[in-house]
A = this chain, B = another copy of it.
Amino acid sequence: MHRYSIKEVAKKAGVSISTVSRVLNNSAPVSDELRARVEKAIKELGYYPSNIAKSLRKGRTGTIGFILPDITNPFFANVVRGAEDYLRKKGYTLILCNSDQDKDQEVQLLETLISKHIDGLLFTGTGEFNSLLVEKIEKGLKVVFLDRIIKGINSSYVIVDNREGMNILIDYLIKTGHKHFVFINGNKETFSARIRYETFIKKMNENKLRFKHYFTNFSYEAGYKFAKKLQTIPDAIICGNDLIAYGVIDAIEEKGYKVPDDVSVTGFDDIPFSRHYKPPLTTVRQPMYEMGKKAADLLLKIVEGKKELNKGVVLVPELVIRESTKELVK
């Protein structure tokens, strides 16, 4: 696509390039006379400023990178939406990268983004330690970790209080008479899965409850497969996220049991569908859109030097009781 430069605008308007730049950016006073001529020339040529030249000059690109596992997961889609809405409003643009939980992919994407001079990075990683990332952060790369923290990396982050989420969930289940638990968790490497695991175990032991725990991955299929081969049906099956819960419910019902009559099933996330699932899912709501927005906000503050470095934001989850759980006792 042919593009005109500031030079051609200047020529057409019969002024110097600085004058054009000045009207473009309102960076210094320009007489009405010249301003009018420049504006006319800009319009006639259909001139658009080149952000690429501007970036080179200014050292900033107005672009933020976002590395996440998979946009196809509604959880991330909603987080991204929150981030993009905010960034757009602030004049930034978002480069989206799916890493598929692959460490090498992640490293490569990071290199690409750095070469593209992103001003900052939103990062939802595999959970594995990433030495390149650490190195870059030490060299001043602005990063906000989103939903998943990596142990040993000191940076800003936005997460949900998983401990609290698990606590209110289990408290509710205990209160309603559940005594025997199975927890079908997500990816082991993942920060949130680990926290939930720890909290779960602690709760179980504290209350001397019978339980089993398994790590799988955050997908419908994982939940389905796992539930299919479950030998004994507990009072409640806690799932690492809503997708797993969907799979579990379907598998359980195929085995001839009823949810929640024979077994309660819970999720984590509250993706938009969960309220429409059959049965509507009892789950721990994570403020997805808010997370994305908050992370973008935090990142821009850091990028723009407002000194919010190494700040952690912990959002509170909320228990949403629907119809996939029953009250065993009143």
A190 within 8 A of B: no
A128-163: contact bitstring with B at CB < 8 Å (1 yes, 0 no)?
000000011001111000000000000000000000
A103-130: contact bitstring with B at CB < 8 Å (1 yes, 0 no)?
0000001011111110000000000000
Q: How far is the CB of A244 from chain B (nearest CB, A)?
A: 12
Q: Do residues B2 and A49 form an inter-chain contact, with CB atoms below 8 A?
A: no
Known interface pairs A52-B117, A117-B50, A135-B46. Does A95 touch B98 (Cβ–Cβ under 8 Å)?
no
Choose one: B55, B77, B98; the contact of A85 (CB below 8 Å): B98
Q: How far is the CB of A59 from chain B (nearest CB, A)?
A: 9
Known interface pairs A70-B81, A71-B71, A81-B71. Does A1 touch B52 (Cβ–Cβ under 8 Å)?
no
Q: Do residues A96 and B94 form an inter-chain contact, with CB atoms below 8 A?
A: yes
Known interface pairs A74-B74, A88-B97, A276-B250. Does A115 touch B48 (Cβ–Cβ under 8 Å)?
yes
Residues of chain B within 8 A (CB-CB) of A114 are 1, 48
A78 within 8 A of B: yes
- A327–B52 Cα gap in the complex (Å)? 60
- A85–B88 Cα gap in the complex (Å)? 23
A61 within 8 A of B: yes
A187 within 8 A of B: no
Tally of chain A residues near chain B (CB < 8 A): 54
Q: How far is the CB of A131 from chain B (nearest CB, A)?
A: 12
Q: How far is the CB of A92 from chain B (nearest CB, A)?
A: 10
Q: Do residues B139 and A46 form an inter-chain contact, with CB atoms below 8 A?
A: yes
Q: How far is the CB of A83 from chain B (nearest CB, A)?
A: 10
Q: Do residues A276 and B77 form an inter-chain contact, with CB atoms below 8 A?
A: no
Choose one: B51, B84, B97; the contact of A98 (CB below 8 Å): B84
A213 within 8 A of B: no
Q: Do residues B71 and A74 form an inter-chain contact, with CB atoms below 8 A?
A: no
Choose one: B84, B109, B113; the contact of A97 (CB below 8 Å): B84
List A residues 201-253 near B (Cβ within 8 Å): 220, 246-247, 250
A329 within 8 A of B: no
Q: Do residues B72 and A72 form an inter-chain contact, with CB atoms below 8 A?
A: no
- A186–B93 Cα gap in the complex (Å)? 29
- A220–B277 Cα gap in the complex (Å)? 12
Residues of chain B within 8 A (CB-CB) of A72 are 74, 77-78, 81, 272
Q: Do residues B52 and A71 form an inter-chain contact, with CB atoms below 8 A?
A: no
Q: Output the nearest chain B residue to A80 by Cβ-Cβ distance.
A: B71
A28 within 8 A of B: no
Q: Do residues B135 and A51 form an inter-chain contact, with CB atoms below 8 A?
A: no
A273 within 8 A of B: yes
Can you identify 5 A-B contacts, CB atoms within 8 angstroms? A2-B140, A72-B81, A93-B97, A96-B96, A247-B276
Task: List 6 additional A-B contacts (Cβ < 8 Å) besides A51-B115, A71-B84.
Answer: A1-B139, A1-B140, A48-B111, A48-B114, A48-B115, A51-B116
Kindly list the 3 A-B residue pairs having the minimum CB-CB distance in the complex, ordered from nearest. Answer: A278-B278, A1-B140, A96-B96
Instruction: Identify the A interface with B (CB < 8 A).
Output: 1-2, 46, 48-53, 55-56, 61-63, 70-72, 74, 77-78, 80-81, 84-85, 88, 93-98, 109, 111-117, 135-136, 139-142, 220, 246-247, 250, 272-273, 276-278
